[in-house]
Amino acid sequence: MTGRSALLARYGTEEPVPEPRLLTAGRLSAELADGNLCAIRWGGHEVLRAVAYVVRDKDWGTYAPAIAELTVAETADGFTVTYQARCEGPGGESLRYDASIAGRADGVLIFDVTAVPETDFLTNRSGFAILHPITGLAGSPVEVEHVDGSIEHSVLPDLIDPYQPFKDMRAITHRVAPGIRATCRMEGDSFEMEDQRNWSDASYKTYVRPLALPWPYVLPAGVPQRQTVTLRIEASPKAGLASSAEDEAIAIRFGEPAGTLPRLGLVLAPEETPATLAAVDALRRIAPQTLLCHFDPTAGHGREALAGFAEIARHCPAETVLECVVPCQDDLDHELSAIAALVREAELRLDALAVSPSVDLQSTPPGSAWPDCPPLEDVYAAARRAFPGRRLGGGMFSYFTELNRKRPPADLLDFVTHCTCPIVHAADDCSVMQSLEALPFITRSARAIIGPDKPYRIGPSTIGMRQNPYGSRTMPNPGRRRIPMAAEDPRQSGLFAAAWMIGYAARVAEAGLEALTVGAPTGPFGLIRGDGTVVPAFHAARMLAEIAGWRHVACHMKDDQQVAALATRSPAGTTLLLANLTGRPLRVRAPDGAWQIMVLDETTPEAWRPDAPPDHTVPADGVVLLRPYAIARLEGR
């Protein structure tokens, strides 16, 4: 151990990791955590990712209910859970609800909630959310029963749907595995489904209250609100059990070379300039190929901000890209030429810029009126005139969701960009790591929009939320907890973020990205601390920067939800990056060969220093032990 506790080393916080309680009834199983159900399985096959009763505030922040009177009873034939919960807002508004859960060995699961506002309660949404998994289900047939009793035979979207694939839902039936079908029935209100892969969630979400209705809305004091979700699983006697090999080493095998890996980028924020300059020696050790300079005149950024970027760029040779928010409040030529003049005065050398209208920093949900905004064609043309000879990018400075709903004229751009954030809807460790599963769907869907050959960039993509497109603010997090929509996520300073970063790069490796921006030098998304130490993700970023531009080699394994693997070949040999994406130790078997290995985990003090840990030789049997959220670099010839 490094002097840090295991919790602090892994997660950057002493907040305990919630231990879900496993509930079983015959072949039916589910995990109970914070009053909700996740990992609902039949014979080991995942049926639903979650059934949860969720209460949102006016900024789409998620309440953490106080749970009392929790009782759990289990028999051979079933289980029951009951509890009371209470949500209290900062203004004293409160909502309480009584919940009951019953699971039976015959494959029936019922989750019932009656909520009673103790005061008038302002909310954007209060009710059930049901999550269907994506891997193996995307593009598969479903049967949807609507509230009017009609039946629709359709498929779950393969490419990511920008809006709701199904509305006015009463029930949905899907095939879980050969011989296993599941029907989920929702009662108490009208439900609809959205494709949560838009936000990099690894799920399709069916939720209560249509987005076309006004929000926020008031639940009147004293008026009960009841909702029920009933899951019914039908399985033939011949339906098999899911295979499990948790004790086996996860074997990695190489496939064919497939393109090259993207440049590694870091984002610069004006308020972080002094801290970044103080850490410039460590920044040079990362050696990023791209510096993405965030500039927003509507936030008060001006010449001083640009001069700070210029000073950092002089110390850190890299492609310099201006991420420029365009106010669109005046003549476009006037606004952009004024920004160009400030760039010249600050002596900021630009290789490229990306532009986005300021109104596009906020999302326009389905059913809402689009805000006034000049056509993107006009914005891009004005940017070309103000910055002649510079590469021009566009897209969204928020998430793929917004790019999917407002698709740019890609033929007018030199590259297209967007970001992702894994804690828009849920912030538990499992959901954050599962978000990596959605990334190939995002990149494939983006390619369907912009074309197979258009240069494509992603980022900054970090665990914490840089800006909230869905509300007035990101969520404050003084207690350094795992909460959705927080700018400061404690896991950024732990091994968790390093594993997530390697996993992210591995999942987008086949997308042909031009650049991937994964964090910042300092600040909430920073890799370098003010005291000269670093966070483990510093080393992950440095590893990715070192292999940028090298040939990518596909990696295949039995379970890529537990381990991420990213392989490259160069004239010097083969490099293999590994990351344990779980909170338990794993054994990984490297491909045949002689390997030198560098491991970062909670036992290596170098994980928090800018120098690298020593190399070791992989054991003769090729099996590498990766402690929770460890990352490793293997070098071979």
Three-class DSSP labels, 175-188: EEECCEEEEEEEEC
Strand, coil or helix: 495: helix
Mean pLDDT, all residues of the chain: 95
b or e along 480-519 (b: 16 or more beta carbons within 10 Å of the residue's beta carbon)?
Answer: bebbbbbbbbbbbbbbbbbbbbbbbbbbbbebbbbbbbbb
CA 368, 374, 377: angle at the middle one, nearest 5? 115
The first and second tokens of residue 229, run together, are 């979700």
Q: Which residues contact 548 (CB under 8 A, 6 or more apart)?
A: 261, 262, 263, 264, 289
Split at pLDDT 50, 70, 90, the class of 599 is very high
Check whether 4 has a pLDDT greater than 80.
no
Q: By the 8 A CB rule, do 477 and 423 touch?
A: no
Q: Residue 385: enclosing H or E segment and its boundaries?
A: helix 376-386
Side chain identity at residue 425, one-letter code: H
Rounded to whole angstroms, what are the CA distances from 495 to 464, 597, 630? Answer: 15, 18, 7
Region 551-557: mean pLDDT is 95
Cross-strand pairs, 484: none
Backbone angles phi, psi at 615, to 5 degrees: -85, 150
Closest of 32, 128, 106 to residue 73, by C-alpha: 32
Edge-to-edge strands of the sheet including 623-626? 250-251, 586-589, 623-626
Which tens digits make up the pLDDT trace of 153-212?
999 999 999 999 999 999 999 999 999 999 999 999 999 999 999 999 999 999 999 988
Rounded distance between C-alpha atoms, residue 324 and residue 354, angstroms: 6
Region 317-341: mean pLDDT is 97
Check whether 619 has a pLDDT greater than 60.
yes
Check whether 244 has a pLDDT greater than 70.
no
Lowest mean pLDDT among 30-44, 437-451, 607-621: 607-621
Side chain identity at residue 627, one-letter code: R
Instruction: Give the pLDDT confidence score for residue 241 in this predicted structure.
Output: 80
Q: Residue 71: enclosing H or E segment and its boundaries?
A: strand 66-74
Region 466-473: mean pLDDT is 91
What is residue 198's DSSP assignment? G
The first and second tokens of residue 262, run together, are 């993207």
The structure's pTM equals: 0.95
- Please state, for a pLDDT cut of 70, what percent of the chain lies above it: 98
Which tens digits make up the pLDDT trace of 263-294?
999 999 999 999 999 999 999 999 999 999 99
Closest of 513, 358, 518 to residue 447, by C-alpha: 513
Closest of 379, 318, 328, 329 to residue 354, by C-alpha: 379
Rounded distance between C-alpha atoms, residue 364 and residue 371, angstroms: 8
Q: Describe the chain by its helix, strand, coil percentages, rounded to 5.
A: 20, 40, 40
Closest of 403, 415, 483, 485 to residue 449, by C-alpha: 403
Split at pLDDT 50, 70, 90, the class of 247 is low
Split at pLDDT 50, 70, 90, the class of 1 is very low
Split at pLDDT 50, 70, 90, the class of 570 is confident
Rounded distance between C-alpha atoms, residue 278 and residue 259, angstroms: 37
Split at pLDDT 50, 70, 90, the class of 248 is confident
The first and second tokens of residue 194, run together, are 């959205």
Rounded distance between C-alpha atoms, residue 326 and residue 572, angstroms: 45
Q: Is the bond preceding residue 157 a cis peptide, omega within 30 degrees?
A: no
Closest of 252, 291, 260 to residue 577, by C-alpha: 252
Sign of CA dihedral 477, 482, 486, 489: positive
Sign of CA dihedral 614, 615, 621, 622: positive
Split at pLDDT 50, 70, 90, the class of 3 is low
User: How many other C-beta atoms lie within 10 A of the C-beta of residue 140?
Assistant: 11
Which tens digits make up the pLDDT trace of 48-92?
999 999 999 988 888 989 999 999 999 989 999 999 999 998 889
Q: Residue 284: enclosing H or E segment and its boundaries?
A: helix 280-286
Q: Residue 17: enclosing H or E segment and its boundaries?
A: none
Closest of 101, 85, 84 to residue 23, by C-alpha: 101
Rounded distance between C-alpha atoms, residue 509 and residue 585, angstroms: 25
Q: Which residues contact 152 (CB under 8 A, 6 or more apart)?
A: 143, 144, 145, 146, 166
Give the residue, 386 or 215, on which the prediction is more confident. Answer: 386
Which tens digits make up the pLDDT trace of 345-388?
999 999 999 999 999 999 998 878 899 999 999 999 999 999 99
Burial class of residue 453 (count of CB atoms within 10 Å of its CB; 0-12, 13-18, 19+): exposed
CA 322, 327, 333: angle at the middle one, nearest 5? 80
The first and second tokens of residue 250, run together, are 């996860």
Instruction: Give the pLDDT confidence score for residue 61 in this predicted structure.
Output: 86
